[in-house]
Every structure is written in C-alpha cells, then in structure tokens.
C-alpha cells in the first residue's frame, strides 16, 4: 500500500538517499571512550595509595605530629650542642655561675 521497496526482504532496513551508515565508526569511538574512562578509574584508584601519606600529613593531627618531630629535633640538637660545649670546657653564661666577661687587667 505505500511501500514498494523491500516487500520481499523486510528484515533489512532500507537506507535513504543521502544518508550513510556511520554505525561502525561510532562503535569504535564509543569503545575508545569506555576504555579511556576505565583507564582513568584505574589511575584514580591507584592514586589513593600515592596521595594518602600527603593527605594524612595535612590533617591537624598530622601537622601536630610533624611539629612535635621538628621540636624534638631542635631540642635534641640544642642539648647535644650544650653538652659538647660543657665537655670541651667552654664556659657559657648560664652554666657555672661565673662571669665570662671579666674586665681585662692591664700590667
């Protein structure tokens, strides 16, 4: 009644004039997009293990811990310095109570 084309073969769609099939190329693009998204997801999942120490160090507890470590290193260096000066016998202002800036007596 209104369609004469494909009367005997109704399983295949008939392409209209001026319209080309782009399905295979579109499938390829879709596959590349899916592969790219999956690759990004894998990279993001792996980055969790790389970035976790950095994030933990930036929390308030991590910052306090690093400051405690710095303070401990600074105090340790200070006490080692003071102990080494005491062993060598170099006087310092707070150590023995002696005045270190005594006036020089000329002969």
Q: What is the pLDDT of residue 77?
A: 81
Rounded to 5°, the CA angle 4-5-8 comes to 95
Measured distance CA(107)–CA(97) in Å, rounded: 27
List the alpha helices (DSSP H) in 15-59.
Answer: 23-57
Q: Mind listing the pLDDT tens digit for each residue in 44-68? A: 999 999 888 888 878 888 888 888 8
Q: How far apart are CA 1 and CA 7, in angstroms?
A: 10
**9: pLDDT confidence band, cut at 50, 70 and 90?**
low
Q: Residue 102 pLDDT > 90, yes or no?
A: no
Average pLDDT across the chain, whole number: 74
Mean pLDDT confidence for 86-107: 59
Threshold 0.75, pTM exceeds: no
């Amino acid at each position: 009644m209104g369609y004469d084309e494909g009367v005997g073969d109704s399983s295949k769609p008939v392409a209209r004039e001026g319209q080309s099939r782009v399905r295979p190329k579109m499938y390829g693009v879709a596959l590349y997009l899916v592969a790219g998204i999956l690759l990004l997801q894998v990279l993001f999942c792996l980055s969790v293990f790389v970035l976790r120490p950095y994030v933990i160090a930036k929390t308030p507890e991590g910052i306090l811990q690093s400051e405690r470590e710095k303070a401990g290193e600074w105090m340790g260096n200070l006490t080692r310095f003071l102990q080494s000066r005491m062993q060598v016998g170099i006087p310092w202002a707070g150590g023995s109570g002696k005045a270190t800036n005594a006036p020089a007596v000329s002969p």
